[in-house]
Amino acid sequence: MEAKDRLIFPLDVSTSAQALQLVSLLDQHVGVFKIGLELFVANGPKIVEQIAEETAAGIFLDLKLHDIPATVQGAIQHACRLKGVNFITVHCVPKLMEAAVSAASARVKILAVTVLTSLDTSDLLALGI
């Protein structure tokens, strides 16, 4: 494993042009490109396909899915059909994780999000944590 394979670069931009420019610039130095919710919603699945065409690096869909299990399962099935996707995030809720894992293909790993970094102590207390 090369050092670059351990690097995940967040494509925290909103346009496909910005994302593709970063992919072109960093392709030889990054193992995985992260596509967050803003970029994905602004550009749809097409941005995943465009990035996959430009790089051999992996793709991390950081969508933090949180819905009823059947909906998460369907979303994971569709996301797994996108070329290059290696990781997808879901919120850490047992039934959601079970649905996500059952729908994931062998090449896609499901990552569970426990606590968002934007939450502070008062937020966690309000949630009963």
Comparing 49-58, 67-76, 94-103, 113-122, which segment has the lowest mean pLDDT? Answer: 113-122
Cβ(36)–Cβ(13) under 8 Å?
no
pLDDT for 4 equals: 87
Q: Tens of pLDDT along 77-107?
A: 999 999 999 999 999 999 999 999 999 999 9
Confidence category of residue 25, pLDDT binned at 50, 70, 90:
very high
34 is catalytic: no
7 CB contacts (<8 Å, ≥6 apart)?
A: 29, 30, 31, 32
* Structure-model confidence comparison of residues 86 and 124, the more confident one: 86
Q: Which of 64, 83, 95, 109 is catalytic?
A: 64
- Say yes or no to pLDDT of 13 above 80: yes
The beta strands (E) that lie in 1-129 are given as 8-10, 32-36, 58-65, 85-91, 109-113
Distance CA 44, CA 40 (A): 5
Q: In the structure, how many helices (H) and strands (E) does the chain have?
A: 6, 5
pLDDT for 116 equals: 84
